[in-house]
Amino acid sequence: MHAIEIQDLSKDYAVGFWKKTLRPALKGLSLTVESGETFGFLGPNGAGKTTTLKLLMGIIFPTAGSATVLGKSVHDPEVKKRIGFLPEQPYFYDYLSAPELLSYYAQLSGVPPAGRKERINSLLERVGLGDVGNKQLRKFSKGMLQRVGIAQAIVHEPEVVFLDEPMSGLDPLGRHEIREMIQGLKDAGKTIFFSTHILSDAEALCDRVAVIHKGELRGVGVVNDLRAATGGTSEVIWQNAQVLTAVSSLVMEPHVSADTVRVTVSRENLDPLLEKLRQQSATLISVTPLHGTLEDYFLSKTSEPEKEGAAV
C-alpha cells in the first residue's frame, strides 16, 4: 500500500463574475509516495501545489481523478485521524494561547483527554515554544506561528504529514529551525509530503521530488540520482599558488589573487584534485557545489514547453 496515491487528479477553478469560465489549475496529476518517504513537491508560484494539497485534505473537490491516503479516500475520517496538515502561511485563532489552540485541535483529532495536557506541554517544548505560557497568539511572531503550525500538524501523532511551503516567509534562522523540525519528523519515521519553491530545502530533506509547473507534472526523481545525473561542478579555493601548476590539468577557470587560488572543477576531477592538494599540503579554504543541482533539474523541467494535448 502506498502512503499517498494520486490518480489523474485534475482541478478547474470556476472564475469570472458568473463563475462560467474554467481555469485549469491541475491537469491529470498522478503520483505515489511510499510510507516513510520524505517527498518534495516542487514548483514555482502558481504551479498548483496548494491546489493539490487542498484536494488531498478534502478542502476542495476534484474536477476529475481521485486520491487516496493510507489506502483510503481522503474524505474518510479514519484517515484524517492519521494525517497532519500545515497550510501555507497559516493563521490561527489569535484569541487563543498556544496550549489552548493545541488542546482544541487535539480534541478535534480525537486525542483522548488523559495525558493530553502533558503531550501538549512536551510538544511545545519540542518545537521551542516551551516558555510562551498563556500569551495569546496575536502576540506571536511569524516564526513562532510557524512553529505553532508544525505543532498543530503533529499534535495527534499522525503517520503522514503534509506541509505547504513550511519555510516560506521565514528568516534564515527560522528556516533552519523548521528544517530541523522536519528532519526530526523524518527521523521518527513519518511520511512527509511538503511543497516548496525553495530548492535547497528540498535538496536537504527529501528522498524524492516531483516538479510541477502550470498544473502539470514535469518529472519525478530520487534526489541522489538527480544530483548524479546533472553532475554538478564545484568551486574549490585553497591557499598556496605554487600547487596550481601540478593540478592544472584537473581544473578549469583558475583565478589567482595573492596566494589564494580559486578554480572550477568537474565532479570526476574533484576527488583527485583534493588528493593532490593534500599531498602538496596546500591549505584548503572551501569546496562549494556550483548551482544547486536540483536547481538545474528544476530549471530544465520548468522551461520545457507544455505537453501536447494536456491542456483542456
Partner 1 sequence: MTSRLSAIALNTFREAVRDRVLYNLIIFVFLLVASAPLFSQISIDVERLILVNVGLSAISLFGVIIAIFIGIGLVSKEIEKRTLYTILSRPVRRWEFIAGKYCGLMMTLLVNAALMTVGFMIAVMITSHGLKAQDMHLLVAVYFTVLEFMVVTALTLLFSSFSSPIFSAILSFSLFAIGTFSLDLRNFAASAHGITKMFALAAAYLVPNLASLNVIAQVAHDQPVGGALVLYNTLYTVLYSAAVTAGAVLIFERRNLK
Ligand X SMILES: Nc1ncnc2c1ncn2[C@@H]1O[C@H](COP(=O)(O)OP(=O)(O)O)[C@@H](O)[C@H]1O
Residues that bind partner 1 (CB under 8 A): 54, 57-61, 77-78, 80-81, 83-85, 87, 90-93, 95-96, 104-105, 107-110, 152, 156, 162
Closest residue by beta carbon to Mg ion: 50
Say whether residue 15 binds ligand X (CB under 6 A): yes
CB 301 within 8 A of CB 218: yes
Say whether residue 84 binds ligand X (CB under 6 A): no
Q: Cβ closer to partner 1: 48 or 292?
A: 48
CB of 87 to partner 1, least distance (A): 4
Q: Give 67's contacts (C-beta < 8 A, 6+ positions apart).
A: 4, 5, 6, 7, 9, 55, 56, 74
Stretch that binds Mg ion, among 32-40, 42-50, 121-129, 200-208 (CB under 5 A): 42-50
Look at residue 142 and give the partner it binds from partner 1, ligand X, Mg ion, none, a contact being a CB closer than 5 to 8 Å depending on partner kind: none
CB of 86 to partner 1, least distance (A): 8
| φ and ψ at residue 129, rounded to 5 degrees | -120, 30
For residue 171, give the C-alpha cell: 528568516
Say whether residue 52 binds Mg ion (CB under 5 A): no
Do β-strands 38-42 and 208-213 pair in parallel, antiparallel, or remain unpaired? parallel
Do β-strands 252-257 and 234-239 pair in parallel, antiparallel, or remain unpaired? unpaired
Question: Any idea of the CA torsion for 300, 163, 92, 98, to the nearest 10 degrees?
Answer: -140
Residues 181, 183, 187, CA angle at the centre, nearest 5°?
A: 115
Say whether residue 168 binds ligand X (CB under 6 A): no
Q: What is the 3-state secondary structure (H, E, C) of 274-295?
A: HHHHHHCCCEEEEEEECCCHHH
Q: Binding marks (x or -) toward ligand X, 20..39, rule CB under 6 A?
A: ---x-x--------------
Say whether residue 234 binds ligand X (CB under 6 A): no
Look at residue 108 and give the partner it binds from ligand X, partner 1, Mg ion, none, a contact being a CB closer than 5 to 8 Å depending on partner kind: partner 1
Say whether residue 208 binds ligand X (CB under 6 A): no
Look at residue 91 and give the partner it binds from Mg ion, ligand X, partner 1, none, a contact being a CB closer than 5 to 8 Å depending on partner kind: partner 1
Residue with cell 494539497: 53
| CA end-to-end span of the chain | 31
Q: Cβ closer to partner 1: 40 or 84?
A: 84
Q: Give 36's contacts (C-beta < 8 A, 6+ positions apart).
A: 3, 189, 190, 191
Distance (Å, rounded) from C-alpha 306 to C-alpha 308?
6
Say whether residue 50 binds Mg ion (CB under 5 A): yes
Say whether residue 196 binds Mg ion (CB under 5 A): no
Look at residue 25 and give the partner it binds from partner 1, Mg ion, ligand X, none, a contact being a CB closer than 5 to 8 Å depending on partner kind: ligand X
Distance (Å, rounded) from C-alpha 52 to C-alpha 196?
13
Look at residue 246 and give the partner it binds from partner 1, Mg ion, ligand X, none, a contact being a CB closer than 5 to 8 Å depending on partner kind: none
Q: Cβ closer to Mg ion: 212 or 250?
A: 212
Say whether residue 104 binds ligand X (CB under 6 A): no
Largest CA distance in the chain: 74
Within 37-56, the residues that bind ligand X by CB under 6 A are 43, 45-51
- Per CB under 5 A, residues contacting Mg ion are 49-50, 88
- Per CB under 6 A, residues contacting ligand X are 13, 15, 23, 25, 43, 45-51
